[in-house]
């Protein structure tokens, strides 16, 4: 479960808060879109969720723990239970595609044959089966995004937080990626996906959380 109680964040004390008094709960195994205009606070919310930032007030709870109270080691452990898709990709340039995607699994030691097979199957699913040995500097923006998505889902995380994951891919690949997320969700992964793509939202029957100017507006069930 993900819970936000009066969560606020301000980058600069002389500017309006990026997020102000957010209150909502995401139940285990739920799937929600996150929507709102540019500047609504979506990316800031995601940075709080993957603990790059901490709330300046209020309480954000992940896995029944207040993130403000976690040690560095506990933050690292919590992140291993999450899948994170970033707009800026955050791939490791010295690793090839297969190695980047394998990271969440190899952190726990030598991978099994079934894990290696899973990595290859996911890369095939996102259309990168022929790019296993390529390095990020040889990839397009859309290809980097797909590597980031494969890395985020390879260990079947308990929570998947995805910031505009289909923003750099064509419509057909966007639908394919959404079906991948849907399958994860069916197996118990809680999904929060930020998107501006209204056609994507209309295509999938999931509730939509609306933010505007850093404030929670409403959740719309479709």
DSSP 3-state assignment of 83? strand
Q: What angle do CA 83, 86, 88 make, to 5 degrees?
A: 150
Average pLDDT over residues 119-127: 93
The end-to-end CA distance of the chain, in Å, is: 21
Domain ranges of the chain: 1-68+158-222, 92-156
Average pLDDT over residues 152-160: 95
Average pLDDT value for the chain: 93
Average pLDDT over residues 45-55: 94
Check whether 141 has a pLDDT greater than 80. Answer: yes
pLDDT band at 222 (very low <50, low <70, confident <90, very high): low
Q: Which of 134-143, 196-205, 210-219 has the lowest mean pLDDT?
A: 196-205
Q: Domain 1-68+158-222 adopts which CATH fold?
A: Rossmann fold (3.40.50)
Average pLDDT over residues 186-214: 93
How do strand 19-26 and strand 190-194 relate by DSSP bridges? unpaired
pLDDT (0 to 100) of residue 1: 85
Global confidence as pTM: 0.92
pLDDT (0 to 100) of residue 99: 95
Average pLDDT over residues 197-214: 92
Rg, the chain, Cα only: 17
Do 189 and 158 meet the contact criterion of CB atoms below 8 Å apart? Answer: yes
pLDDT (0 to 100) of residue 199: 87
Q: Exposed, middle or buried: residue 122 (CB in 10 Å: 0-12, 13-18, 19+)? A: buried
């Amino acid at each position: 479960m993900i819970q936000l109680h009066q969560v606020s964040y301000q980058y600069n004390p002389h500017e309006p808060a990026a997020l102000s008094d957010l209150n909502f709960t995401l139940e285990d195994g739920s799937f929600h879109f996150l929507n709102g205009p540019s500047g609504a606070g979506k990316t800031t919310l995601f940075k709080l969720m993957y603990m790059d930032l901490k709330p300046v007030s209020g309480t954000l709870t992940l896995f029944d723990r207040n993130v403000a109270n976690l040690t560095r080691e506990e933050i690292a452990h919590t992140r291993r239970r999450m899948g994170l898709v970033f707009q800026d990709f955050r791939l490791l340039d010295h690793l090839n595609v297969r190695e980047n995607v394998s990271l969440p699994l190899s952190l726990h030691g030598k991978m099994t044959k079934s894990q290696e097979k899973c990595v290859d199957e996911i890369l095939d699913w996102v259309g990168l089966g022929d790019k296993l040995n390529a390095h990020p500097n040889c990839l397009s923006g859309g290809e980097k995004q797909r590597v980031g998505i494969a890395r985020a889902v390879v260990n079947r995380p308990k929570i998947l937080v995805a910031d505009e994951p289909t923003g750099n891919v064509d419509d057909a690949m966007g639908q394919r990626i959404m079906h991948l997320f849907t399958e994860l969700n069916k197996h118990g992964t809680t999904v929060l996906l930020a998107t501006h793509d209204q056609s994507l939202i209309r295509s999938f029957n999931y509730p939509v959380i609306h933010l505007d100017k850093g404030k929670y507006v409403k959740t719309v069930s479709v």
